[in-house]
Structure 1
């Protein structure tokens, strides 16, 4: 049953280790940047950004003095070229930085950059954040273990992330879900079950409704909806296992009710098995890269001793696998969780991991 779970109010920022930095360089995630997160903090002032209903979005639009703004714009356009294209300068003359917004809510306090192509007025966003090892691990795991590709770059203490398009979960649940057909609701319920299982397997926490999006795909005469995470700050940090299961957040109560209404228990078990099998297949495909990332995590400190002790005990109580009790850190806990899924997949006798 959904409940009001307690999450650490202020998760510490974990710096990028030398080993993780070498890993990122090996897979072309590292890049020399012309501007850093700290540079953007030197804004002169800001105004509140409101949505179409005149409600505070918790973002503010920042502005800089004229001299700095010219240099910042040029640097941000270069960052955009590196993230989206080949890093060349030929496209810069066609780009305009229309807005720089700063989020005052949450751990990462990101800057959101709006870049517009002046030839056709098409625009896109990307984010500039303070680099945090937890977030980087979460992004890399999303690339390998989810159905989605994700693009990001790291330079020293700065992280650049592409914008993930979709309908914010809280907005979708409030305004669009009630208007969906019965068939669409059944499909959405199925996706939530699979999303819930995927977050658990890879230990991605805090998937409250505003931390994921719904992605609609039109297929012949109907629309399919996928659920995609957009926040990776809580990768393998918290100690409470329920925090890695979206079903236990009160913000997802309507999704949990929808699952109960539309899907029988037998089908829920079937969809969980399907998702574990898909994740296991991805693990096999990314075998070498995943092992290198897990080696970095095992050598890293990305959580507190109390969280580690609680989580390994919680997972042991669900799986009765002694490997979890032997885990020394979050990296080992995650490795054992993934091994548990892969081992059962390979044995063709999946056990319940819930």
Structure 2
């Protein structure tokens, strides 16, 4: 279904869904147990060009590091750490990651460092949610942002100079056990839970592999009987994830972003018989102050006299009627004929919902 006209207003967007097309199972679902794991660490970045931080925990961390190297700083002496910054290091450990492989990391300042440009991250352990170390990070950073400051205090900053990345900056030291090879079944979790889609997945898998090979637990999970041998399971899964499935159409929804004026209307939205009129009332106030000079013979003072002109203009409101089982294209054409702005359309849709004429879920974000 194509739209002949765009809705008036640059910030309005109406999405008309295309005819349903078959998707691969790998695009509709994820395998249970095959997932990413988040890692985080705390460390120091050194070698900065005077853009480091002055946070107290940076001094403490620096002292601890020097003690590990056998260098003891005198008590009461606070080193000038203009070239050092305390940072957090975050990374994502992908599924089936093996020891010795490298992953990208993101380095973020947690103090008041002006920039991390030109810095080098010292060896930092990265821990998981179980507090075990899964990777070690170190290397020179790539920082996309930069800043400049004048002697009068004026400054300019482009992007975010306090965050950088290190490609392949962490080496994996510990593997995460995966349940992929365990059990007699492989379970898929749909990205968008839907009973109809779950049933169609079961029918598609059974149609390719034979009856009773797949069964659904609920609107999200579908289990498929699989061989126990890991090599056979890999080949078996390669066949499964490329099976085409016709997903069910989404529920009828209208999403309104009141901050940006964006309106998204789904394909299955319908409107019951209703008549709508919506007009705008414009109030204009114009101030024309006049200076009043006193009589030269009188001992008066120059005064300012206010002259206000108030005008009220009400634009003619046109009524448009929705018939039974109105489709998305009908709604678009009716709104285009009236020439309503995004704010007006929001008010109309909310009124239709309150009247029970809008057959869709109205979501305001």
Bin for the TM-score computed over the shorter chain: under 0.3
Question: Based on CA coordinates, which of the two structures has the bigger radius of gyration?
Answer: 2
Superposition TM-score, scaled by structure 1 size: 0.20
